[in-house]
Amino acid sequence: MPSLSLSSFSFEDIPTAEVDAAEKLYGALAHDVRALNDVSIRTRVDQARVDRARALVQEATDLLAEDAPSGPAGIHYNGEGRSWNWGNAVVGVRNAVAPPVELAWQDDDCVHAALSLGAAYEGPPGSVHGGVSAMILDHLMGETASARHTRVTVTGTLTLRYVQPLPLGPVRMEARIVEVNGRKVTVSGWIAADQPDSSPAVEATGLFIVPRWAEEPDAPSGIGSLD
């Protein structure tokens, strides 16, 4: 069983401007694929149209596969403090499976996010899947524990309380550091419908750990949570 260490991260000698340009190019592709994911769930076109759409999708897939290294995207960083985790299941801007969640730091101890969750994230009819709420809360809370990416954290335990259904559509989230005790960081969080007077649908508490190897002086900066 592999364990995580400093060598899990890839140093890339790429200027930040080039990283940003690649993120924009491939991020636009992921944006389009998200729209395809959404309509693929809802469509009821006839077999001829489905067959034609499948042929188009397969052609696009073959084209993109002409130069695509095997394996996952990983986490990378350059010498300018820029890091990128484009494949991340929650925040990866190149991952059409990720909503993606965009984080907004309020201060070092509190992170907000607002996003819209559509048909691809359904559980109960018309509602966000409880597991999706768990997934994105885990990530938001881990990022919060990282104190604006000044330390690396991994999830130790996570407890979720489901209070009421969360309708699909705009949602907002908040996570906040409750306590720091050595390498242990306790974080609380919630997710709610983004509507006036809405109260949390899911509340969470988590214990996040700073791994020993992440305290080494040559640890890469700007990585943050290892969710």
Binding positions for a copy of itself, 35-64, rule CB under 8 A: 35-37, 39-45, 47, 49-50, 52-54, 56-61, 63-64
Closest separation in Å from C-beta 54 to a copy of itself: 5
Which window, 11-19, 73-81, 104-112, 178-186, contacts a copy of itself (CB under 8 A)? 73-81
3-state secondary structure of 95: coil
Distance CA(128)–CA(210), nearest Å, equals 31
Among all chains, which residue has been given the structure tokens 């242990």? Answer: 184
Q: Tell whether residue 134 is a contact of a copy of itself (CB under 8 A).
A: yes
Which window, 11-19, 104-112, 162-170, 178-186, contacts a copy of itself (CB under 8 A)? 162-170
CA 152, 22, 73, 32: dihedral to nearest 10 degrees? 110
Closest separation in Å from C-beta 80 to a copy of itself: 20
Distance CA(20)–CA(32), nearest Å, equals 18
Question: Measured from the CB atom, is 110 or 120 closer to a copy of itself?
Answer: 120
Q: Look at residues 176, 179, 177, 185 and name the one whose alpha carbon lies nearest to residue 209.
A: 185
Closest separation in Å from C-beta 111 to a copy of itself: 15
Q: Tell whether residue 171 is a contact of a copy of itself (CB under 8 A).
A: no
Q: Which of 15, 102, 161, 216 binds a copy of itself (CB under 8 A)?
A: 161
Q: Contact letters (x/-) for a copy of itself, 179-218, by CB under 8 A?
A: --------------x----x--------------------
How far apart, in Å, are the Cα atoms of 119 and each of 73, 123, 134, 202?
26, 9, 17, 19
Output the six-digit token pair for 97.
């499976």
Q: Are 193 and 169 in contact (CB under 8 A)?
A: yes
